[in-house]
Structure 1
Amino acid sequence: MKKVLIILLLLPTIALTQTKEEFDFVAPIHENVVAVKKGNTWGFIDADGHIIIDFRNDLVLSKTNHGNYPMFMDNRCLISVKKEGILYFGYIDKTGKTVIEPEFLNAQNFSNNQALALAVIKEELGRNEILGKNVIAHRCFEVIIDENGDIKSYLNPKGVNVVLDKKSLKKPPKITSKIISKNLYAVLNENKKWIIIKIDN
């Protein structure tokens, strides 16, 4: 009888377990995790309510019908880090580990194990003997990356010149290309017209 009484007293506690954390925003569950906001920081909880990624300020928000919040797509979540006043984008996995270093000038969420990103390549154009310095230019390319961050294809092979300076890049350059399907992409050309490209990955 004593055991039954103890079980009956404990049952409400077991049935109504809850996290003691208070959140400012709770996103819908997606890929078995939930983005939660506290102040200006975001973290993730699992389907049981346990915090799996502690609160941090480098998670990138995605616009959805339910609000703006960070989200995992194909087990990757966007992060951004400021280096010398310029934002660079990368990705973490569901342990919070950085799996793609922040090196892209912009990036999008993954879809079908691929994502669109803006890669920067440094070119040495020569040397200025008077100043004793190498002349360097940077070109920006819209690329398709895989889940490891490796570039699989260049969507604008010529690229565009970009000045890596915080005054020139106050916000990330836009990605104009679109993923239509697993192998089909829409690319905006120099005439501001869309062309469809098929790439067999």
Structure 2
Amino acid sequence: MKHLLIITCLLLIPYLGISQTVEQINKPTVAELDQITPFSDGLAAVRKGDQWGFIDEEGQLVIGFRNDLVWNKNPQTDNPGVEGIGYPQFKNGRCVVREVKEDGIARYGFIDKKGNMAIPAEFLNVSPFSEGHAVGIYESKSLRGKNTFQLKIYDYDFTEVVVNEVGEMIWPIQERQNIVMSGKLYKLPELQAKMISDHLLAVKDKANKWKIVKPKF
């Protein structure tokens, strides 16, 4: 009886002075999308071509389409870093973005739910946030001098660290070696640590075995 009443009301709409078509009553809030992802943190990523934006739970586009959000057509699902990200997603109010610097090498950071930069893109690789923390490879450099062609020569240090939601590096995990900072030779360094709870880390050792570490933060 309830279903019959609903159908009757729909049939009466034209006679009540409402002459909208089915297309008109289903007017989209956002259209011409190539992909729509599940909601996370109250937002869902939507793709148009190679650009992504975010809609809220009312279907409104609250972060416009942009090309710096990290995603992979064929993500490495067991990879904790950027290569494992299938589509942009907010976790703990943060979403990974990519910025290519002057040397042609990408660094990664995070935006907030308003689309503003929350954590600067200064990591060579990062994990999405989980339980309020992310893991990243931080690069620091100091000027050594110039070569015979007057090109600047830098010394680099790399540290895998735990980062909190405001971008503070709150725990050093390990020093990283053998990262070549040359555009032609550069290869994205893999993360060798991942958060497995809000107070436990899994860290890969030199023998390629995992160990459990309990950081103090």
Structure-2-length-normalised TM-score: 0.77
Query: Residues 54 and 129 from structure 1, CA distance in 2 versus in 1: closer, same or farther, beyond 3 angstroms?
Result: closer
Q: CA RMSD in A?
A: 2.9
Aligned to 1:185: 201
Aligned to 1:95: 114
In structure 2, runs of 5+ residues without a counterpart are 1-14, 78-84
Q: Answer yes or no: is the 8 Å Cα contact 1:61–1:71 preserved in 2.
A: no
Aligned to 1:108: 127
CA deviation string 1:110-143 (max 9, x = no partner):
011110001012246x668989888632122111
Residues in 1 aligned to 2:106 and 2:188: alpha-carbon distance in whole angstroms: 7
Residue 85 of structure 1 pairs with residue 101 of structure 2:
no
Aligned to 2:41: 31
Query: Residues 17 and 188 from structure 1, CA distance in 2 versus in 1: closer, same or farther, beyond 3 angstroms?
Result: same
Residues in 1 aligned to 2:117 and 2:51: alpha-carbon distance in whole angstroms: 17
In structure 2, which of residues 74, 89, 99 is the aligned counterpart of residue 71 of structure 1? 89
Structure-1-length-normalised TM-score: 0.82
Residues in 2 aligned to 1:163 and 1:90: alpha-carbon distance in whole angstroms: 20
Query: Residues 140 and 48 from structure 1, CA distance in 2 versus in 1: closer, same or farther, beyond 3 angstroms?
Result: same
Aligned to 1:164: 181
Aligned to 2:139: 120
Structure 2 counterparts to residues 37-48 of structure 1, below 5 A:
37-48=47-58
Q: Answer yes or no: is the 8 Å Cα contact 2:30–2:59 preserved in 1.
A: no
Code of the aligned partner of 1:163: V
In structure 2, which of residues 59, 83, 88 is the aligned counterpart of residue 49 of structure 1? 59
Q: Answer yes or no: is the 8 Å Cα contact 1:138–1:161 preserved in 2.
A: no
Aligned to 1:148: 166
Code of the aligned partner of 1:61: W
Q: Answer yes or no: is the 8 Å Cα contact 2:51–2:66 preserved in 1.
A: yes
Code of the aligned partner of 2:200: L
CA deviation string 1:88-118 (max 9, x = no partner):
0000011110111111001110011110001
Residues in 2 aligned to 1:29 and 1:49: alpha-carbon distance in whole angstroms: 11
Aligned to 2:10: none
Query: Residues 39 and 160 from structure 1, CA distance in 2 versus in 1: closer, same or farther, beyond 3 angstroms?
Result: same
Aligned to 1:199: 215
User: Which structure has the highest strand share of the two?
Assistant: 1
Residues in 1 aligned to 2:117 and 2:44: alpha-carbon distance in whole angstroms: 19
Per-residue deviation, 1:189: 1.7
Per-residue deviation, 1:146: 0.5
CA deviation string 1:146-201 (max 9, x = no partner):
11111011111x332432211121x4210011212111111112232322211121
Structure 2 SS opposite 1:68? coil
- Aligned-pair identity in percent equals 34
Residues in 2 aligned to 1:133 and 1:69: alpha-carbon distance in whole angstroms: 38
